[in-house]
Chain A
């Protein structure tokens, strides 16, 4: 299989003005030449094949969006090279844009006050989609989602979920070879998240579109991605399959409980009763967190042990987050 994206030693640096405090500082900033260089992306190399769904993860400000902007040709790399579909994106932005689709979860490319169908018609003309393909796509979309309630509704009246769904449909309409989805599930409820995952999966399968997905939701990654790339502070930390990551992390979950009584006492006691169970106990504010590896010990067992001696006021169960994954990579390596 061919690589649709080839990135080699990609670096992007920004010059940022050193800002000073207060009114005096602000006035000084007007004339200041005091710049510092910030690396948004540093020496990233990456090859992505046709049809892959790649999870591109990292905390806020890690450089994910900057990388995507460089792949779309909106930003020019400071050094290193990018080839998207064999083209240098920033040199041939218009041609490149014909073969890519982009969704930014917090922005919409749809015409705000018009019904969705009008946006689709506009995109059909702008991208020069031929009528046959357009009709096929609409028919295909019809099998995936219930278009009826959204097609004739003005975009500004849509719920966030409907809008995101519409944006994703719009970005695949011209059959791009690559689609960049930047946090598509942000702010959505569980049911809508699952709808959107199903949709992305189905389109990827049928059209063999390469999908680059950035997200903070490990659920998205679990449901969609075979391969994961993690970056932090502009540098690549991890690039491998998800299975490898899972094996390494095991099936970690965090159980959080709030108990009656003095917290530091409780932490000590729980630490003691669970000491033979290979779990990590920590606390913040009034919550006590127990990091459990489900391969070795079940969460419910831990909970019942805690419940024996303590009254549980409240509890939460959390999946391991990308932030935790990164923290663990830093402390333990891959």
Chain B
């Protein structure tokens, strides 16, 4: 039974590595983006004139954002694109007539990408940051908590994507919806601007949304100096709650929507 899933995962890794050039382009594009972040935030801190802004130094902001970008590139599954495309082209019929739950199928088929992306994007960035900053990233028990938190973050991200992908069943267009989703997730998850910079009111709203649990949670855990503290456990607990809520929501929404297609045709 489990072999089903691991075989799908393996195929995903192979598929990803098949496109060698695209991996290179991704790495190069990343470098460019990181350079932009560097100069942008340097200008912000220079103009502020103080050592720290909102309790974060230039160095800690940069580490946060570089790792957030690496995390994004590693955890992004591009599920919405794929679901949208298969729905538009009608290929989804072929996926539906596999003797496998569609959601599980999608998760495992794309987890291969994530595994490959871990080695091609996150790990190199992580090593470089750890070497350059000489000890800004604590290397202790927090890494174990980080691993757990990342996996939960991936599941949450997948669920959000799956819900948005399901919306494509109704709209039959993908581009706009996907861009909107991406902007919302990146902003509210703290991947573009550290959450510490958000105004108080907005931060309270962000705390009620699941997006924080995708990138900000594992990142905070990774950068926490004191190993596994109560705060870390609390963050992970919140993530687990979001996993459960989103699992139920996405499955329910998919089930209802599927009835829609089987009645109205795809």
Contacts and interface: CB of A to CB of B under 8 A. Distances in A.
B139 interface: no
A72 B96 CA distance: 9
Given A114-B11, A122-B11, A104 B93 contact: yes
Nearest to B94: A109
Contact of B7 (A72, A104, A125): A125
Contacts of A95: 99
B265 interface: yes
B99 A125 contact: no
B262 A76 contact: yes
A107 B7 contact: no
Interface residues of B, number: 28
Which secondary structure dominates where chain B touches chain A? Answer: helix
B93 A114 contact: no
Interface string B163-175: 0000000000000
B99 A74 contact: no
B20 to A, nearest CB: 11
Contacts of A113: 15, 18-19
Contacts of A74: 93, 96-97, 261-262, 266
A111 B11 contact: yes
A57 interface: no
Contact of A14 (B18, B90, B265): B265
A304 B157 CA distance: 74
B15 A111 contact: yes
Contacts of A40: 265
A308 B26 CA distance: 72
Interface string A52-91: 0000000000000010010011111000000000000010
Contacts of A28: none
Given A66-B265, A114-B14, A121 B100 contact: no
B4 A76 contact: no
Contacts of A32: none
Contacts of A73: 97, 262
Nearest to B91: A107
A30 interface: no
Which secondary structure dominates where chain A touches chain B? Answer: mixed
Interface string B72-114: 0000000000000000011101101111110001000000000
Contact of B89 (A72, A90, A107, A154): A107
Given A14-B264, A76-B263, A107-B89, A118 B101 contact: no
B134 interface: no
Interface in B38-55: none
A95 B98 CA distance: 9
A107 B265 contact: no
A114 B15 contact: yes
B262 A75 contact: yes
Contacts of A281: none
Nearest to B92: A74
A75 B263 CA distance: 6
A94 interface: yes
A14 B265 CA distance: 8
A127 B19 contact: no
B8 interface: yes
B11 A98 contact: no
A97 to B, nearest CB: 5
A102 B97 contact: yes
B94 A94 contact: no
Contacts of A128: 4, 99
Given A107-B91, A113-B15, A154-B18, A93 B96 contact: yes
B204 interface: no
A132 interface: no
Contacts of B19: 113
Contact of A118 (B3, B14, B99, B261): B14
A15 interface: yes
A114 B16 CA distance: 10
A277 B266 CA distance: 51
Interface of B: 3-4, 7-8, 11, 14-15, 18-19, 89-91, 93-94, 96-101, 105, 259, 261-266
13 contacts: A14-B264, A74-B93, A74-B261, A75-B263, A93-B96, A93-B97, A94-B101, A102-B94, A104-B94, A114-B14, A114-B18, A122-B8, A126-B98
Q: Which 4 A-B pairs have the closest CB atoms?
A: A125-B7, A98-B99, A76-B262, A97-B97
Given A15-B264, A73-B262, A104-B93, 19 more contacts: A14-B264, A72-B93, A72-B97, A74-B262, A75-B263, A76-B259, A76-B262, A94-B101, A95-B99, A102-B97, A104-B94, A112-B15, A114-B14, A122-B7, A125-B7, A126-B7, A126-B8, A126-B105, A127-B99
